[in-house]
Amino acid sequence: MFCPKCRSEFEPGYTECARCEAELVDELPPPPKPEYNDLATVLVAPNETILMLAKSRLEAEGIPCFTTNNVQDLVSGRIAGYCLAMGPQELQVPAEDAERATAILESISDEEAEEEKQD
Ligand SMILES: [Zn+2]
């Protein structure tokens, strides 16, 4: 058991932190992502393939990407099936990079259209 406020660990059986009087939780929440406060959604991807394509393209341009679901876990393959079963996912970038990201994403859809013609 853990205290969500001071992150102290307690033996099972305790329900409240002696110091903070906070209700203990089974697992500590993951540490927050501190780097960026303002995120802008630049893409709602209908499936993982498009999401990952867009993500890798933006990261290649030096734009950090965040997704609304656990794509990191998808990459590691642990819960791939679970992620694939989920619906559209949002791709977010820092607000300051949103304009550039949108332009890059538009160029991706152009390339995809080209590839479809070749098939
Ligand atoms: Zn505490």
The tens digit of pLDDT for each residue in 57-106 reads 999 999 999 887 544 444 444 444 444 445 567 899 999 999 999 999 99
Same domain, 26 and 81: no
Same domain, 57 and 111: yes
Same domain, 23 and 46: no
pLDDT reported for residue 34: 57
Same domain, 47 and 24: no
* Residues within 5 Å of ion ligand 1, judged at the Cβ atom: 3, 5-6, 17, 19-20
CA-to-CA distance for 89 and 47, rounded, in angstroms? Answer: 7
Q: What is the total count of domains within the chain? A: 2
User: Of all residues in the chain, what percent carry a pLDDT higher than 70?
Assistant: 71
Same domain, 22 and 49: no
Maximum average pLDDT range among 46-50, 53-57, 67-71: 53-57
Q: How far is the CA of 54 from the centre of ligand 1 (A)?
A: 41
The boundaries of the domain holding residue 74 are: 39-118
Same domain, 83 and 103: yes
At 47, which CATH number? 3.30.70
